[in-house]
Amino acid sequence: MAAGYETKDPSLLAHNLYKKYGKPLSSIEAYPKSLRWFLEDNFSIEVLQPILKLQSSDGTIKGLFESEGGKAFEAAWIPAAKRMTICVSSQAGCRFGCKFCSTGQHGFRGNLSTFEILSQVFGLRKPFNHIVFMGMGEPLDSYQSVKKAVEILNAWWGVSLANRYITISTVGIFPELSKVIEELKCNLAISLHSPFHEERKSIMPVESIYPIKEVIKMLKTKKFTGKRRLSFEYLLLGGFNDSPLHAHETGRLLSGLRCHINLIAYNSIAGANFRRPCLRTIENFREILNEYGLRVTIRISSGYDISAACGMMVGSK
C-alpha cells in the first residue's frame, strides 16, 4: 500500500478486484479520492484475455488463452438451466499421459500460476455459479497455484463462492490428495475409469505409482460431511471397460464409501483406438452400480463440436 495509507483495510481492495471485477480501482468508495486515483494510476486490474473464442451449438463457449511465456491453455463456460459452470485448466498440457485424453497425448508445457487460473474465470467475462478444475492438466500436480486460486474463489473478500460449488478433479496423487481434502474443503472428483489394476495402468500410467485401490482405501478414512461431495468419474470406453464385470467390480470397490459416480461416454480424439458405447450399455452399467447402493449420474458432455468436452482440450488454434 502507498505511503500514508497503510491503515486502510486491504480486503476492500481485494473485494473490489474479485467480487466486483471490471469496476475501476477509482470506484472504491470507502477509500479517499487521493488513494483511489493513486491506485488507478499505478496498478492494473487486467487479466489475460482469450485470444480465440469458439461457441458450441449447445451454448458452451471455449476460450483459448496464452501467457506471456507462450503457454497455451483453454477454459470453457458451460450454461445449463440452473448452473453456469466455468471449467478451468491448471496446467498447459499434462504430464500424466492418459491414453483416452487429448491433453495428455500432447505433452506437458508447464504449470499455470494462480493469475493464469483466475484469468480464465474472469477473462471469459461470463456469469458463473460453479467452478470445476477439469480442464487441461492435473490440478494436484500444480497444487500451490490451485490452492491459492480456490482460497480466493472461496474467500468473503474474493469471489465468495461456497466450497460446495467448487470441484477439483484428480487422478489421485499422494500426498496432495490428503492436503486438498484437509485444506480446501471443496468437492473432489476422482478419475477411476477401471477397477482392475493392469487395465487401468494400460490407459492411465499413474496407476503404476498411485493404484486406485490405495486411493480408495485412503478416502475411506476421511469424512466428507455436509454438502461436500466426493465423486468418481468413470469414462466408458466401448468394449474395453463397460462390461457387467467392470460394473460389479466397481460396485464392490466403492461399496461402503459415501460417494457419487458420474458415467461419461468417451469423446473421440485423434490417434486413440477407442469407441463410444451405446446408450443401452451405459444404462446397464448404471443399473448394476445402483444395486450396490451407489448414486449414479450419466453425464452429458458439453461442447463436443468445439473440442471442449471431457478429454478434448489441447490448447491450440
- Hey, which residues are catalytic here? 74, 310
Q: Please report, to the nearest 10 degrees, the dihedral formed by the alpha carbons of residues 206, 207, 209, 212 taken in order.
A: 120
Amino acid at 189: A
- Rounded-to-integer distance, Cα 164 and Cα 148, Å: 17
Q: What are phi and psi of 203, to 5 degrees?
A: -115, -15
Torsion over CA: 105, 108, 111, 112 (sign): negative
Q: Are 102 and 312 contacting, i.e. CB atoms less than 8 angstroms apart?
A: yes
Q: Are 140 and 91 contacting, i.e. CB atoms less than 8 angstroms apart?
A: no
- Rounded-to-integer distance, Cα 132 and Cα 144, Å: 17
Alpha helices for 164-297 (secondary structure H): 176-183, 197-203, 212-219, 244-254, 279-291
Q: Are β-strands 52-55 and 61-66 bridged in parallel, bridged antiparallel, or unpaired?
A: antiparallel
- Strand (E) or helix (H) holding 120: helix 114-123
| Total residues found in the chain within this entry | 317
